[in-house]
């Protein structure tokens, strides 16, 4: 115990470093950072002792303080969290968690050399663009397709190749801005295309597209509404109608579909979300969609459609600048394989969440309540949201664990400081947790964190 002659009794840096705790800190954080933090903490302890304040009990406590400081200082800013918000595709929380198979594929490719750009049959250089193409074609029915690093990049590439210095006709009601100040008009400008607005904010007909066609028109474009929804006196031309106009004038139709749904959302009690397959069958020449929204895979941008157009895009100089890396491709191929095999609902986390029965969610919420054993906890009805710019306004019924605490804002702040951080939300002055978006292997950690904070 460091009680008598506290200043002289303080251990030296070398003594701590040569001990078991010191060795563990050096192994984890490196000698330099450990020595620096030890000196800082020892200086603070000396100052406290000089002021007549309590110091430390022993070297074990000192090592624990240093370990806590180092863990905080070197904790990565990008780390896992528990999403208890009920927002399934949460853009700020990384959108779609990957399936077990996708995680495994990513790890295998990350830890070894791979066939990223190597043709095993020919024994020479191959192309990374081939890895996802066959699966993209199989699950969407497209003639060809390839993946880039995100959907915005896919759109820039497409417009740069097919519409540079030419006109792109688009409905005024589709000039959207989504998260991060991403605006469709800005993308048009960046790609060198000239945007031609038609129709009104709430109503655009096929005849509006027809009337805007000139000899300099390159294509007609349809853009997903993303995270907003128009209701009431609204009309929008269907892809099939746009395709009829395009065929009469030898133009292309591009559908920026956004969410990338490959399954029928209505079968899960949600509003209808146009699928990639439907868009292609309706006559779209090219369809652009994301990998990490309703597809449930990694961040990526897919372009599928007519083979001769896809080949043009592959040859464009920008294709190299926006190409997907090996980790993205590995996870994407594994995700697409779930759709090929027909087990996406069982294996892809976002579809598992969407498909979870209300009775199961209610049972989970009640189990959490019982484990907390607190009068502050209750189970209430609520709604989950798909999120991520998909199915705007659509919700699913759920059951929520609700905590009636004195200061909800302060409580959620403490939850975010936990390890792992817990992201909950406040509704009607209660802190609520939605089991729909909490992964099964995170449930124990969630309950323990909440219980500790309730009891502290």
234 and 316 within one domain: yes
In a domain? residue 68: yes
Q: Report the C-alpha dihedral over residues 260, 265, 268, 270, rounded to 10 degrees.
A: 110
**Closest Cα partner for 215 from 166, 164, 248?**
166
Q: Which residue has the higher pLDDT, 65 or 329?
A: 329
* Total domains in the fold of the chain: 3
pLDDT of 1 higher than 50: no
231 and 372 within one domain: no
Domain boundary among 311, 344, 377: 344
| 252-279 tens-digit pLDDT | 999 998 888 999 999 999 988 899 999 9
333 and 358 within one domain: no
- Pair 22, 34: CB distance under 8 Å: yes
Residue 53 has a pLDDT of: 74
Distance CA 445, CA 361 (A): 18
CATH of the domain at 390: 3.90.1150.110
- Phi, psi dihedral angles at 405 (to 5 degrees): -110, 160
| 358-411 tens-digit pLDDT | 999 999 999 999 999 999 999 999 999 998 777 777 899 999 999 999 999 999
245 and 173 within one domain: yes
Residue with tokens 């779930």: 338
113 and 203 within one domain: yes
CATH of the domain at 335: 3.40.640.10
Tokens of 9: 């009794």
| 165-182 tens-digit pLDDT | 999 999 888 777 665 556
Q: 379 has which bridge partners?
A: 401
Q: Which residue has the higher pLDDT, 65 or 447?
A: 447
| 340-371 tens-digit pLDDT | 999 999 999 999 999 999 999 999 999 999 99
Domain boundary among 344, 366, 387: 344
260 and 380 within one domain: no
286 and 155 within one domain: yes
Residue 94 has a pLDDT of: 95
In a domain? residue 326: yes
Residue 228 has a pLDDT of: 56
Which domain range does residue 87 map to? Answer: 82-91+351-455
**Closest Cα partner for 205 from 249, 247, 236?**
236
- Phi, psi dihedral angles at 337 (to 5 degrees): -65, -30
Residue 2 confidence class, pLDDT cut points 50, 70, 90: very low
Domain boundary among 344, 374, 396: 344
| 8-28 tens-digit pLDDT | 767 788 888 888 888 889 999
In a domain? residue 1: no
Mean pLDDT of 97-116: 97
In a domain? residue 305: yes
**Closest Cα partner for 222 from 198, 250, 190?**
198
């Amino acid at each position: 115990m460091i009680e008598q002659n506290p200043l002289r009794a303080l251990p030296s840096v070398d003594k701590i470093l040569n001990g078991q705790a010191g060795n563990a800190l050096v192994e984890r954080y490196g000698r330099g950072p450990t020595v620096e933090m030890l000196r800082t903490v020892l200086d603070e302890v000396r100052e406290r002792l000089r002021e007549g304040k309590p110091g430390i009990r022993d070297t074990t406590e000192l090592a624990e303080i240093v370990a806590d400081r180092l863990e905080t200082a070197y904790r990565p800013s990008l780390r896992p969290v528990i999403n208890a918000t009920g927002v399934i595709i949460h853009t700020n929380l990384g959108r779609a968690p990957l399936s077990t198979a996708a995680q495994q594929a990513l790890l295998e490719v990350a830890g070894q050399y791979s066939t990223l750009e190597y043709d095993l049959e020919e024994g020479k250089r191959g192309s990374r663009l081939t890895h996802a193409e066959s699966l993209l074609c199989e699950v969407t029915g497209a003639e060809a397709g390839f993946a880039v690093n995100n959907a915005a990049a896919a759109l820039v590439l497409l417009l740069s190749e097919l519409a540079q210095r030419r006109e792109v006709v688009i409905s005024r009601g589709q000039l959207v801005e989504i998260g991060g100040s991403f605006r469709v008009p800005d993308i048009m400008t960046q790609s060198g295309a000239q945007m031609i607005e038609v129709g009104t904010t709430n109503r655009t007909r096929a005849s509006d597209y027809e009337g805007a066609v000139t000899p300099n028109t390159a294509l007609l474009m349809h853009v997903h509404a993303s995270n907003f929804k128009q209701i009431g006196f609204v009309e929008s031309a269907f892809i099939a109608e746009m395709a009829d106009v395009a065929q009469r004038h030898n133009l292309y139709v591009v559908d920026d579909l956004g969410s990338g749904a490959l399954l029928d959302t209505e079968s899960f009690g949600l509003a209808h979300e146009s699928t990639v397959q439907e868009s292609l069958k309706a006559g779209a020449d090219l369809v652009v969609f994301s990998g990490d929204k309703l597809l449930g895979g990694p961040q990526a941008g897919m372009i599928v459609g007519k083979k001769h157009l896809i080949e043009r895009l592959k040859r464009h100089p920008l294709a190299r600048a926006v190409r997907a890396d090996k980790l993205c491709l590995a996870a994407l191929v594994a995700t697409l394989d779930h759709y090929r095999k027909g087990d996406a609902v069982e294996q892809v986390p976002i579809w598992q969440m969407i498909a979870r029965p209300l009775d199961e969610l209610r049972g989970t919420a009640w189990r959490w309540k019982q484990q907390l054993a607190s009068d502050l906890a209750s189970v209430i009805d609520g709604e989950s949201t798909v999120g991520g710019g998909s199915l705007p306004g659509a919700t699913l019924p759920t059951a929520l664990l609700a905590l009636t605490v004195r200061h909800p804002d302060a409580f959620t702040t403490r939850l975010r400081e936990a390890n792992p951080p817990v992201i909950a939300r406040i509704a009607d002055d209660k802190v609520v947790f939605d089991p729909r978006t909490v992964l099964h292997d995170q449930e124990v950690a969630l309950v323990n964190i909440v219980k500790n904070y309730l009891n502290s």
